Amino acid sequence: MRKAKNIFENIDYLSVIFYLVLVFIGFFNIYASEFNDDANEIFNLSKRHGKQLLFIFISSLIAFFLIIIDWKFFFSLSFIIYAISISSLILILFVGKITNGSLSWFDFGNFRIQPSEFAKFATALALARYINLFSIKKFNFSKTILCFSLVLIPLLLITIQNDTGTALVFLSFVLVLYREGLTENVLIFGLSIFLLTIMCLILDFFVFLIILFFIVSVIFYFLKKKKKNIINILVLFVFCIAYSYSVSYIVKNILPKHQSDRIMVVLGQKKDPYGIGYNVIQSKIAIGSGGLIGKGFLKGTQTRFDFVPEQSTDFIFCTIGEEWGFSGALIFISLYLALLLRILFLSERQRSNFSRVYGYSVACILFVHFLINIGMTIGLFPVVGIPLPFISYGGSSLISFTILLFVFLNLDSYRLQILR
């Protein structure tokens, strides 16, 4: 057991500092994006920045509470928390409230909760606990299937809620599993599928076939010309064609129009500055107009005058880019990266699989948010609505990420006691 006086000695304060700095960067940028010429008091609960301040306060209390309780609480309750989370995801399909087209909120009068935010935390715990069960770090087929099932259940449930962004976040667990020994072929396979998907969407189908045929011929040339290889390659070739054909069919005919349009805009296949592309164009204009040193705090015209939609939530990075410029963005991204790498570093020093897997999960979840959110504001990723952890406005999001991080900091503070 950790001794009481050691509680605060064993906390990784560097992470806490990163956390606090990011949270307050978030607060000031929410303030800036809400700022107008009237009613600018900091403590104004009718304004988003005022509410965010309240959320920060609540999060701090939760963080403090999470630090002082015993690690075994999380360890032993992992599967139960997971079960509760999955149940709430199912329940919401029947009693949830639709916001921005997604059925993902529980509504309690003035207070709303988005269970999918907490499902990430629950899944991370459950996955850590499950991998901790087997001592030898080796994935056999059934274990792999079970690991994927733990991730896929919430992913599918959230997809049904029509919250694609949050569902995508669950793919971050693939990175965790990779760290834990999943064969790298999974990554290579994923990457190939990704490239194949993009190629079949941006190229004319006929051109695509020619390129594919060329690649296959080159592979065939370098491999030994055995009969077995020829068959393998032919199978692969047919698979590629079948896959590409179904992808383009799904994108063009099955996906809802707004989603397929978003994909096409990011791939540069569609230009529509006042329709689907509007968000991205305005977001890029806001960030681009920041220049090297930015326009200064509260001086951003694009974000303040509502040219950028969802500017305090999903597009909060625009305010950073516009008011603080490239130098601000550089500092911000470095800070974020520093936090991510710090968590990876902390994870690696854990003695127990449980703590390490959980730590990796935290880092990867935060990373995927970072990737998708900033990627979409600068036009590298389709517009999918997910928040930038610690920065974006929103109670559910801030509290869930605080829980995610501080549970890990709690585990880290017990690293000398947790042996397995």
Partner 1 sequence: MKNALRKNVVALFFIAVSLIFLVKLFYIQVLNEEYKFSAKNNVLRYDVLQPVRGLVFDRDSNLIVSNQPAFDIIVVPREVTKIDTTVFCNSINIQKVDFIEKLNSAIEYSKYRESIFEKQIDAITAANFREKLYQFPGFYLRKVTKRIYPHKNLGHLIGFMGEVNSKKMKEDDFYIKGDLLGVSGIEASYENKLRGEKGMSIRLVDVHNRTQGKFNNGEYDTLAIRGKNLISTIDIELQKYGNQLLYDKLGSIVAINPKNGEILSLVSSPNFDPEKLSGKNRSKNYKKLINNRTKPMFNRALLGEYPPGSTFKVINSLICLQEKTLNVNNFYNCDGKYFFEKDRSVKCHKHTSKVNLSDAIKYSCNPFFCENFEKYFNKFDTSEKAYKNWFAHVTSFGIGDWMNNDFFSGRKGLLPKADYYNNYYGENNWNSSTIISMSIGQGELLITPIQLANVSAIIANRGFFYTPHIIKTIENELSIDSNFTNKKFCSVNKEHFKYVIEGMFDVVNSKNGTAYNAEIARFNICGKTGTAQNPHGDDHSIYIAFAPKNNPEIAIAVFIENAGWGSKWAAPIGNNLIQKYFELKDK
Return residues touching partner 1 (CB under 8 A): 36-37, 137, 175, 178-179, 181, 184, 281-282, 284-292, 301-302, 304-307, 321, 325-326, 329-330, 333-334, 336-337, 340-341, 344, 348, 360, 363-364, 367, 370-371, 374-375, 378-380
> Residue 152 has what DSSP assignment?
H
Q: From the CB of 84, what's the least distance to partner 1, in Å?
A: 29
Q: From the CB of 343, what's the least distance to partner 1, in Å?
A: 10
Token readout for 329 is: 């963005």
Q: In the β-sheet with 111-113, what is the strand arrangement from edge to edge?
A: 97-99, 102-108, 111-113
23 or 363, CB closer to partner 1? 363
121 or 360, CB closer to partner 1? 360
104 or 377, CB closer to partner 1? 377
Q: From the CB of 177, what's the least distance to partner 1, in Å?
A: 11
Q: From the CB of 250, what's the least distance to partner 1, in Å?
A: 27
Q: From the CB of 287, what's the least distance to partner 1, in Å?
A: 6
Q: From the CB of 289, what's the least distance to partner 1, in Å?
A: 3
Q: From the CB of 37, what's the least distance to partner 1, in Å?
A: 7
Q: What is the dihedral of CA 287, 330, 15, 170, to 10 degrees?
A: 50
Q: Please enumerate in sequence order all residues whose Cβ is within 8 A of that of 400, keeping only pairs 6 or more positions apart, or say none.
A: 117, 118, 120, 121
Q: From the CB of 184, what's the least distance to partner 1, in Å?
A: 6
- DSSP notation for 241-307: HHHHHHHHHIIIIIS-HHHHHHHHHHTTS---TTTTTHHHHHHHHHHHTTTTT-S-TT--HHHHTT-
330 or 416, CB closer to partner 1? 330
246 or 334, CB closer to partner 1? 334
By the 8 A CB rule, do 116 and 184 touch?
no
By the 8 A CB rule, do 113 and 93 touch?
no
Q: Give the integer Cα–Cα distance in Å for 179 and 289.
A: 40
Angle between helix 316-348 and 278-288 (nearest 10): 80
Q: Give the integer Cα–Cα distance in Å for 385 and 120.
A: 16
Token readout for 414 is: 């017990």
Closest by Cα among 286, 283, 297 to 373: 283
235 or 341, CB closer to partner 1? 341
By the 8 A CB rule, do 390 and 55 touch?
no
CA distances from 323 to 317, 348, 373 (A): 10, 37, 18
98 or 293, CB closer to partner 1? 293
Q: From the CB of 108, what's the least distance to partner 1, in Å?
A: 33
CA distances from 262 to 96, 103, 229, 259, 271 (A): 26, 20, 39, 5, 10
Q: Give the integer Cα–Cα distance in Å for 175 and 152.
A: 14
47 or 179, CB closer to partner 1? 179
What's the chain's length in residues?
420
Q: From the CB of 130, what's the least distance to partner 1, in Å?
A: 18
154 or 300, CB closer to partner 1? 300
Q: Give the integer Cα–Cα distance in Å for 371 and 381.
A: 8
154 or 379, CB closer to partner 1? 379
Find tokens 């079960």 and name the residue: 83
101 or 273, CB closer to partner 1? 273
Q: From the CB of 348, what's the least distance to partner 1, in Å?
A: 6
